[in-house]
Amino acid sequence: MSEPAGHGQTVESIRRSLTARLKAAGHDAAELDARLLVGAVLGLDLTGMITGAKRALTRDEADRLEHLAQRRLAGEPIARILGVKEFWGLPLHLSAATLVPRPDTETVVERALELLRADGVAERALRIADLGTGSGAILLALLSELPNAHGFATDISTEALQTASRNATALGFADRTTWIECDYGRGLVGAFELIVSNPPYIPSADVAGLDIEVRAHDPRAALDGGADGLDAYRALISQSAGLLTSGGFLVVEVGQGQSGDVEALMTASGLFPTGPPKADLGGIPRAVS
Ligand code: GLN
């Protein structure tokens, strides 16, 4: 059993003991997680934690830290505990209705930007749709790079749309975003130069086998892609075919081994692959366009 955090200890000593407890429990990022949790409770950034290293914690601070430490030790992801995750350099608030944005998903942003820039249209007043936006990660990353674009985000979850809209406001993009509560592209009208999506794509039978940090804390609706994992693509690809401008792009995230099937669905809807899928940092084909 590990020692619980106590009041009267200094910032430095409690950070060290929390690191040791997380390490002993097998957490890979023990050092970083301990810093983030101590920083969250005390409202300190990295510098503040160094300059304030000798200050003692109050009982209330020690209690709050212990509560967060217990949540982390019970397997809750650090991003869920902090309620925020960085994506494309942007701090994004999360809620129970949103997936924690993954670094792999930045591959979708990269591919979309490559296509628009190669076409020389990145500076235009583009209309971009993000189907099943969740926290707004993909759309907000794109808006941060495309100064004249307007984003239309859909989600079937009211709570997700509220989270995404809060993120847009915090980042200064409120007047460049429109929120639509609907299933993928069903509620959209008009033509879009770019449509993006990271839909649920885990086959239903595989959801139970996902890592506990994903299975127990990410919303099932954002993970479960039906029997073969491709249900969402069937819906959103055929919808997108009717929503793109001629010469417009559709860029979607896919799971491992799904890129061929998703390309085939695109071709069947009259959309032509722009090139091979773009691989993520782990070398897995991740963005199909
Ligand atoms: N990449 C996520 C995971 O494997 C799944 C996200 C999704 O289904 N879109 O945890």
Top mutation candidate among 99, 105, 206 for ligand 1, by most atoms within 8 Å of CB: 99
- Domain containing 70 equals 11-74
Report whether pLDDT(41) > 80: yes
Atom of ligand 1 nearest to the CA of 201: 8
The CATH number assigned to the domain holding 144 equals: 3.40.50.150
Pocket perturbation via mutation, ligand 1, pick of 87, 106, 201, 252 by most ligand atoms within 8 A of CB: 201
Out of 24, 49, 74, a domain closes at 74
4-29 pLDDT tens trace? 557 789 999 999 999 999 999 999 99
What is the total count of domains within the chain? 2
Specify the pLDDT at position 275: 93
**36/143 same-domain check:** no
Which residue ranges have their beta carbon within 6 Å of ligand 1?
99, 102, 198-202, 214, 223
Give the model's pLDDT for residue 160.
98
Task: Please say which residue of 74, 95, 119 terminates a domain.
Answer: 74
pLDDT at 8: 82
pLDDT for residue 4: 59
Same domain, 166 and 259: yes
**Type of residue found at 198:** N
pTM: 0.93
Strand pairing class (90-93; 84-87): antiparallel
Do 88 and 39 belong together in one domain? no
- pLDDT above 70 covers what percent of the chain? 98
CA distance 134 to 232: 14
Residue 278 has pLDDT above 50, yes or no: yes
Residue 199 lies in a domain: yes
pLDDT of the residue at 88: 98
Tell me the mean pLDDT in the region 266-278.
Answer: 96
For ligand 1, atom 9, the nearest C-alpha belongs to 200
Same domain membership, residue 138 and residue 19: no
Specify whether 186 is located in the same domain as 64: no
Q: Are residue 282 and residue 157 in the same domain, yes or no?
A: yes
Q: Tens digits of per-residue pLDDT, 54-109?
A: 999 999 999 999 999 999 999 999 999 999 999 999 999 999 999 999 999 999 99
Q: What is residue 225's predicted lDDT score, i.e. its pLDDT? A: 98
Task: Say if 132 falls within a structural domain.
Answer: yes
Angle subtended at Cα 138 by Cα 36 and Cα 248, rounded to the nearest 5 degrees: 165
Q: Is the residue at 240 inside a domain?
A: yes
The whole-number average pLDDT for the span 224-237 is: 98
* 26 domain-assigned: yes
Q: What is residue 5's predicted lDDT score, i.e. its pLDDT?
A: 53
SS3 of the chain: CCCCCCCCCEHHHHHHHHHHHHHHCCCCCHHHHHHHHHHHHHCCCHHHHHHCCCCECCHHHHHHHHHHHHHHHCCCCHHHHHCEEEECCEEEECCCCCCCCCHHHHHHHHHHHHHHHHCCCCCCCCEEEEECCCCCHHHHHHHHHCCCCEEEEEECCHHHHHHHHHHHHHCCCHHHEEEEECCCCCCCCCCEEEEEECCCCECHHHHCCCCHHHHCCCCHHHCECCCCCCHHHHHHHHHHHCCEEEEEEEEEECCCCCHHHHHHHHHHCCCCCCCCCEECCCCCEEEEC
The token pair at 103 is 């670094």
Q: Indicate if 201 and 247 belong to the same structural domain.
A: yes
Q: Which atom of ligand 1 is nearest to the CA of 198?
A: 9
Among residues 49, 74, 99, the one where a domain terminates is: 74
pLDDT at 1: 42
Average pLDDT in the 134-143 region?
98
Query: Does a structural domain hold residue 79?
Result: no
Average pLDDT, the chain: 96
Q: How many whole angstroms from 198 Cα to the centroid of ligand 1?
A: 8
Co-location of 106 and 186 in the same domain: yes
Residue 174 shares a structural domain with residue 64:
no
Q: What is the Cα Rg of the chain in Å? A: 21
Same domain, residue pair 15 and 128: no
Query: pLDDT, tens digit, for every residue of 163-211?
Result: 999 999 999 999 999 999 999 999 999 899 999 999 999 999 999 999 9
Q: How many CA atoms lie within 13 A of 67 on its CB side?
A: 10
Within this chain, do residues 254 and 142 fall inside the same structural domain, yes or no?
Answer: yes
197 and 98: one domain? yes
Ligand 1 centre from 199 Cα, in Å? 8
